[in-house]
Amino acid sequence: MDADEAVQVEALIEQQRTPAVASQYALHAA
């Protein structure tokens, strides 16, 4: 997966989940 795809996936996650969950995912993915 390239950087652009990763950004799209993160955007989808943020739309579908609460900000708290999205933030936790971002921390784990970083």
Q: Which residue has the tokens 């784990």?
A: 28
CA-CA distance, 19 to 21, in Å (whole number)? 6
Residue 30 tokens read as 């970083």
pLDDT score for 30: 62
pLDDT score for 9: 92
In the chain, where the domains are located: 1-30
pLDDT score for 17: 67
pLDDT tens column, 1-30 = 688 999 999 888 878 766 677 677 777 776
CA-CA distance, 2 to 5, in Å (whole number)? 5
For residue 3, give Cα distances in angstroms to 9, 15, 18, 20, 25: 10, 19, 23, 23, 16
CA-CA distance, 24 to 1, in Å (whole number)? 20
